[in-house]
Amino acid sequence: MQNEHFLTLAEHFGTPLFVYDAGMVLERYNDLKRFIDHPRLELHYALKANFNPALLTALRDAGCGIDAVSPGEVEYALHLGFAPEKIIYTANNMTDAEFEKVYASGVVMNIGELSRLRKAGFAHPGMSVCLRFNPDVTDGDSAKTMTGGELTKFGILLEDIDKVLDIVREYRLKVVGLHEHTGSGIQKPESFHAAMKALMSIATPENFPDLEFLDFGGGFKVPYKPDEQPIDYVTLGSGIAERFKEFEKSYGRQLKIKFEPGKFMVAQCGTLLTRVNTIKRNRKRLIAGTDSGFPQLIRPVLYDAYHQIFNLSNPEGREEIYDICGNICETGDRFAEQRPMPEIREGDLLGIANAGAYCYSMGGIYNLRAMPSEVVVKGGKVISLRRRATDKDLIDNITGTTESCDMAL
């Protein structure tokens, strides 16, 4: 989208404002399908990355499935019209009540703990399950988003395969899928192959004769820094498809291959527009104070993530070095530290790029500031507006969910 479009949207809808390009999301979906050229490829978009209903509806209509990680996400996907068989439920540390609720909806249950597998078998002998394994491959764009290897809570250890098989036999479970997810923002293409190899090593017809699919999670990274080289997904995708076809031969039957991309599908489609209202010099630091803050885009604070920031109102200004801060009562409330930018003046509009994944969806109302409005653009038109809550909405929500109690302990 061009600067002038962002300026128009900010003027019309106010700031802060999330802007998403639905056309780009669909392009990414089709790109991945083209790169991984396998006739039985199924993509399940990781809903946690961005739950905007207009984006999800566009993906549903394109035939995409959903990777859901909570009963709320499952219910939401069903509500939006995703069929149960298009949804995989990959929760961790789920409660019995959560398990039963999702099981009743007919969604495939992906189980990553021996203890949950045993409870599932006891409650529903003969049920169909998918099993999540830890591929023992460690990769991702932050230690906090690496989900394989020694330090993670996710998945069953590969070395526990005999324990898994004992439980499967005891409760006559039908294992229809095997799953792994290495991490978010996988840096090295080799990690995809290593993780696939690890999962395939246990996916034998002797261990699991009823397999219908293997699911290799998400993690396809996109560049966030201006000089970051994108991964060669054409080569990676064809390598993945080849490897899977070889696997199918050794397994002796055709299977589906699934992935659960989040970031790759939505990161680049989103921009957070925020207006600078204060310029201040604190001895050595030149500070640009904006009308957004870290609860609305937490990745820089949580992961030390880099997001490109554009001065949309003054792109040709003389370069200066800024700390770009939010309006939250915390010193760490910065989108960027010591960032060279074209001169920022009070009233300028900034665009924070790659704000489509894990930004709004990880947001909150710390300091009682409501999350921004979201607009979705497609084919040169605004097709959806999700309004920002008012201060009154926030207060009504807090007070409306509070009641006095009189319970003796």
Ligand X SMILES: Cc1ncc(COP(=O)(O)O)c(C=O)c1O
Instruction: Specify whether the CB–CB gap between 181 and 224 falls below 8 A.
Output: no
- Listed ranges 33-41, 211-219, 284-292, 389-397: which one lies at the site for ligand X (CB under 6 A): 211-219
Smallest distance, ligand X to C-beta of residue 2, A: 27
Cα(46)–Cα(266) distance, rounded to whole angstroms?
10
Span 357-396, contacts to ligand X by CB under 6 A: none
Span 120-149, contacts to ligand X by CB under 6 A: 147
Three-state DSSP class for 46?
strand
Q: Are strands 87-89 and 128-134 parallel, antiparallel or unpaired?
A: unpaired
User: Which residues are paired to 177 by β-bridges?
Assistant: 130, 213
From 220, 244, 251, 335, residue interacting with ligand X (rule: CB under 6 A) = 220
From 16, 155, 177, 218, residue interacting with ligand X (rule: CB under 6 A) = 218
Span 164-183, contacts to ligand X by CB under 6 A: 181
Q: How far apart are the first and last CA of the chain?
A: 59
Q: Which is nearer to ligand X, 13 or 89 (CB)?
A: 89
Q: Which is nearer to ligand X, 215 or 291 (CB)?
A: 215
Sign of the CA dihedral with 314 first, then 316, 318, and 320 last: positive
Residue 292: closest CA among 370, 393, 394, 356: 370
From 16, 148, 155, 217, residue interacting with ligand X (rule: CB under 6 A) = 217
Smallest distance, ligand X to C-beta of residue 44, A: 8
Quote the Cα angle for 195-215-29, to 5°.
Answer: 105
Cα(197)–Cα(283) distance, rounded to whole angstroms?
55
Q: Which is nearer to ligand X, 262 or 289 (CB)?
A: 262
- Listed ranges 13-21, 70-78, 217-225, 244-252: which one lies at the site for ligand X (CB under 6 A): 217-225
49 contacts ligand X (rule: CB under 6 A) = yes
Which single residue is written with the structure tokens 């060279």?
340
65 contacts ligand X (rule: CB under 6 A) = no
Catalytic-residue membership of 329 = yes
Q: Which is nearer to ligand X, 185 or 270 (CB)?
A: 185
- Listed ranges 25-33, 50-58, 214-222, 289-297: which one lies at the site for ligand X (CB under 6 A): 214-222
Instruction: Specify whether the CB–CB gap between 68 and 90 falls below 8 A.
Output: yes
Cα(135)–Cα(215) distance, rounded to whole angstroms?
12
From 10, 22, 60, 67, residue interacting with ligand X (rule: CB under 6 A) = 67
Among the listed residues 130, 329, 359, 405, the single catalytic one is: 329
Three-state DSSP class for 138?
coil
Asked if omega into 205 is within 30° of 0 (cis), the reply is no
108 contacts ligand X (rule: CB under 6 A) = no
How many residues bind ligand X (CB under 6 A)? The answer is 17
Smallest distance, ligand X to C-beta of residue 69, A: 7
Smallest distance, ligand X to C-beta of residue 145, A: 6
From 46, 109, 137, 352, residue interacting with ligand X (rule: CB under 6 A) = 46
- Listed ranges 30-38, 215-223, 239-247, 329-337: which one lies at the site for ligand X (CB under 6 A): 215-223
Smallest distance, ligand X to C-beta of residue 200, A: 18
The alpha helices in 105-160, defined as continuous H runs, are: 114-123
Three-state DSSP class for 300?
helix
Q: Which is nearer to ligand X, 144 or 387 (CB)?
A: 144
Q: Which is nearer to ligand X, 67 or 348 (CB)?
A: 67
Span 241-280, contacts to ligand X by CB under 6 A: 260-264
What is the DSSP annotation of 199-244?
Answer: HHHH--TTT-TT--EEE----B----STTPPPP-HHHHHHHHHHHH
User: Which residues make Cβ contacts (< 8 Å) with residue 172, sequence separation at least 6?
Assistant: 125, 126
Segment (H or E) for 162: helix 161-170
List, by residue number, the catalytic residues.
Answer: 329
Residues that bind ligand X (CB under 6 A): 46, 49, 67, 90, 147, 181, 184-185, 217-220, 260-264
